[in-house]
Amino acid sequence: MGLIDAGLRGALIALLALVIVALRPHWRHVRHAELVRVGIALCASLIVQTLSASPWVEHELRCQPQAPGIGISLGSAVLFWLFARAVFEDGFKLRAWHGALWAAVALFGATVCQWHAWWQGWVLMRAIPIVFALLGLAAVVGPWRVDLIEPRRRLRGIVVGGGATYALVLVGLRIFSADGSLSDGAALGDVAMLLALTALIAGRLLAPRAHGLWSKPAAPLAPPPAPPSEDPQDQVVAAALARLMGEGRGYAQEGLSLAGLAEQLGTPEYRLRRVINQGLGHRNFNAYVNGLRLAEAKRRLADPAERQLPVLSIALDVGFGSIGPFNRAFKADTGLTPTEFRHKSLADS
């Protein structure tokens, strides 16, 4: 069993190192720089975890030599959460407090030899991975319904079913261990699960595709009027969608969802998702709808005939439920508040 364990750990470390080498050229990628940086940090952290969780290290070394590895391994939970967000949240940005949070968790884990109270060594060491596994799940599941990219939707299933299961199973194994360390059999199962999960995710991230992860984003031009699909049903859906979201002002419906829009058009969700993503070039349903709402809002705010109409009335009329989300979306899109945009547009006209 010892040779099998060592072989699996060697394979896992080699695969993680390969992923780092493959990701490194994309460090400054236009769209995915944040994902690359978190991914490299997570792979490096998992390499340390693979070594520090080996039976020889846990059973033969004293506490002090193990402490740095324990800290970095505990910090992997934070990196998993950030990785899930970087993969599945368009526009995700790393912040200074993310690094500070990782450092705090890693430092806490590295002080394992100084713990005396039972709640430090038993409760917190188990609670931290569970909390960040659940946060990672929330980042994956939350935007699932509005994600229009089919490969990324399938990748969500792997992360949900694999990453969270791995984290929770590992915590469970340590909870039911007498001294918190893994038995030889549990350690073998741990590295086997992590190797399988890493191989699946690495394949999804690194496999080349015509519209793959590393493709450059399209230029910010107006989307084509119809999808390039030769499927007649896709073209029918595209035409109906254009009518509903154009002259029908379908985007102005408060709380509009992909399922609700598909029902109105009488088409399956997967077909509508394909038309909006592959035909119109949008990655997220909410971003697509809000783009239409903001376009009308900007037109009306710049219209001298509507200068007396309150901003709130325009926000509600184009489909926003309240002024707060409208102001935030408008500022993110234009760099100006709606009032500033109106004053500038009317002054220019």
* Structural contact between residues 186 and 173, judged by C-beta atoms closer than 8 angstroms: yes
In eight-state DSSP terms, residue 120 is I
C-alpha–C-alpha distance, residues 267 and 236, integer Å: 10
Place 178 in a pLDDT band, splitting at 50, 70 and 90. Answer: low
Q: Which residue type is seen at 212? A: G
Over the Cα atoms of the chain, what is R_g? 25
pLDDT, average across residues 202-221: 53
pLDDT per residue over 66-114, tens digit each? 889 989 999 998 998 998 888 877 778 999 999 999 999 999 988 877 7
Name the nearest CA neighbour of 163 among 140, 189, 187, 186. 140
| Residues near 184 by beta carbon (within 8 Å), at least 6 away in sequence | 1, 2, 5, 55
What is the Cα–Cα distance from 256 to 263, expressed in whole angstroms? 11
Q: Higher pLDDT residue, 78 or 226? A: 78
Q: Which range (15-19, 160-164, 276-280) has the least confidence?
A: 160-164
Determine the Cα–Cα distance for residues 267 and 269; give it in Å rounded to an integer: 6
224 pLDDT band, cuts 50/70/90, is very low
pLDDT at 348: 74
* Mean pLDDT comparison of 108-122, 189-203, 317-331, highest-scoring range: 317-331
**Is the C-alpha dihedral spanning 43, 48, 51, 53 positive or negative?**
negative
- pLDDT value for 64: 84
Q: How confident is the model at residue 226 (pLDDT cuts 50, 70, 90)?
A: very low
Q: Model-level pTM? A: 0.69
User: Contact at 8 Å (CB) between 109 and 70?
Assistant: yes
Residue 277's pLDDT is 86
Alpha-carbon distances of 5 from 29, 179, 182, 262, rounded to whole Å: 36, 21, 13, 50
pLDDT in tens, 227-250: 455 678 888 999 999 999 998 999
pLDDT at 139: 79
Structure token pair of residue 16: 């993680």
- What mean pLDDT do residues 177-194 have? 70
Higher pLDDT, 263 or 2: 263
User: Tokens standing for 321?
Assistant: 């439920």
**Rounded-to-integer distance, Cα 286 and Cα 292, Å:** 10
Q: What are the residue ranges of helices labelled H in the chain?
A: 2-23, 33-52, 55-60, 63-88, 96-110, 118, 125-141, 150-158, 164-175, 184-206, 232-245, 258-265, 269-274, 285-301, 311-317, 323-334, 338-348
The Cα 122–Cα 116 span in angstroms is 10
Residue 292 has pLDDT above 90, yes or no: yes
**Structural domains for the chain:** 2-206 (1.20.1070.10), 232-348 (1.10.10.60)
pLDDT single digits (tens) 33-46: 898 999 999 999 99
pLDDT band at 181 (very low <50, low <70, confident <90, very high): low
| The pLDDT of residue 173 | 67
Q: Give the model's confidence band at 128: pLDDT under 50 very low, under 70 low, under 90 confident, else very high.
A: confident
* CA atoms of 31 and 25, how far apart (whole Å): 13
**DSSP per residue over 258-301, as a string?**
HHHHHHHHT--HHHHHHIIIIIT--SBHHHHHHHHHHHHHHHHH
What mean pLDDT comes out for the span 266-294?
A: 89
Q: Pick 210 or 198 by higher pLDDT.
A: 198
- What is the mean pLDDT of the segment spanning 294-315? 92
